[in-house]
Amino acid sequence: MFKGLFFQGKTNYKSQSLSAIAWRKFYKNKQGMFLLCFLCVVAVISILGYLITPDSTPYANEQVLEIRLMKPMSKVSFLEIKKDNPVEKRNFLKKMLYGQPAMYTPIPMSSYRLTNDSIVVELLNESPPYNMVQYNLADISYRINTRTYYLGTDRYGRDVLSQLIIGARVSLSVGFVSVFIALIIGVFLGAIAGYYRGVIDDIIMWFINVVWSIPTLLLVIAISFVLGTGFWQIFIAIGLTMWVDIARVVRGQVISLREKEFVEASKALGFRSLTIIFKHIIPNITGTIIVVAAANFASAILTEASLSFLGIGVQAPMPSWGTMIKENYGYIILDYAYLAIIPGFAIMILVLCFMLLGNVLRDVMDVKE
């Protein structure tokens, strides 16, 4: 019991008080709270996904070519005819994660009229006499619906707002997964190198310098070719290239702490090296790791967008902000420049928020203040 009280008094009390002070400073920081609330809202929207998107089909990929390249806030009336083949109605969780396959075939129309046993529809954007279609009411199950395209439609007639919301899910997912992988590798190697020093430090630093010398984008592309292109593959590829920054920072912090009194006391009390590293040294550099992770989060989003723009990231039909820019950058000099500007602006805002949040965290966790 004496050993536990002595060791806890030397380590945990100080780190807990510093953490409490940092959180109180962060709570009083208006910029930090605003950024955190904004990112939480984006995260909630991306998690809800298909539950709140106007187009709830998988990948928000319902294509209606008759309404392609419609301006924002456009309203279109549809005659929706129920499909002959039965479509599974998914439960709440499945719909939120994967979307709901369309149960109706949408037919855009300008007007319609009902007769005794049929419905006559005037098709949208069709020339006479091919703009009039008649359906027997006994043969179809239908409904009339009006949709509002708040951000317009792309060249395939897909809803841009729905694509943007599902694309946010991809960007946040790549940030979380990639940073998680980078933290596991970077913290482990950096802590081992900084604590043991000697030959182990030389070998790990040589490996870090080799990875550091390769341009990040080229390394991600190489790993992507090995793992293949896809949703999870690109997350792993980015995570395997982002750990170097974390490892170098953690190594430097561990080197500065390994000679402190509480580490010497831990050695004298007989604690194992790994216990000292991961139970007592790492908690004292959590603030630094969080700041670096916030910066890496922004870098991961940019890297994923770059790879998707090049065509080796997230593959169609899954929407991604980088893919949206790739598909629509040719319209920048036309009247539809917003199709590329909107996802580009979304990337800029999200990256800026994480960078500013990292600066706020650095300030509130500065022990010198």
Query: What pLDDT, in 10s, does the model give residues 162-179?
Result: 999 999 998 898 888 889
pLDDT at 362: 78
Residue in 348, 351, 330, 350 with CA at minimum distance from that of residue 339: 330
pLDDT at 6: 37
Residue 2 pLDDT exceeds 50: no
Residue 73 pLDDT exceeds 50: yes
pLDDT at 3: 40
pLDDT at 367: 55
Phi-psi region of 11 (alpha: psi -120 to 50; beta: other; left: phi over 0): alpha
Residue 369's pLDDT band, with cuts at 50, 70 and 90, is low
Catalogue the long-range contacts made by 337-345 (C-beta closer than 8 Å, 24 or more residues apart). 338/72, 338/151, 338/152, 339/152, 339/154, 339/160, 342/151, 342/160, 342/164, 343/164, 343/167
Do residues 209 and 272 touch, judged by C-beta distance below 8 A?
no
Residue 9 pLDDT exceeds 60: no
168-221 pLDDT, tens digit each: 998 898 888 889 999 999 999 999 999 888 899 999 999 988 888 888 778 888
pLDDT at 15: 43
Distance CA 312, CA 120 (A): 46
Q: Does domain 2-44+162-364 match CATH 2.30.29.30?
A: no
Residue 345 pLDDT exceeds 50: yes
Residue 132 pLDDT exceeds 90: no
pLDDT at 7: 39
Residue with tokens 């049929």: 118
3-state secondary structure of 275: helix
Structure token digits, residue 309: 């723009």
pLDDT at 39: 92
Residue 159 pLDDT exceeds 90: yes
Report the alpha-carbon angle 109-60-126, nearest 5: 20
Structure token digits, residue 330: 């040719």
pLDDT at 19: 59
Distance CA 26, CA 34 (A): 11
- Domains in the chain: boundaries: 2-44+162-364, 73-157
The most distant pair of C-alpha atoms in the chain lies apart, rounded to whole Å, by 95
Work out the mean pLDDT of the chain and round it to a whole number: 85
DSSP secondary structure, 166-181, as one string: HHHHHHHHHHHHHHHH
Residue 138's pLDDT band, with cuts at 50, 70 and 90, is confident
Residue 51 pLDDT exceeds 70: yes
Distance CA 150, CA 91 (A): 27
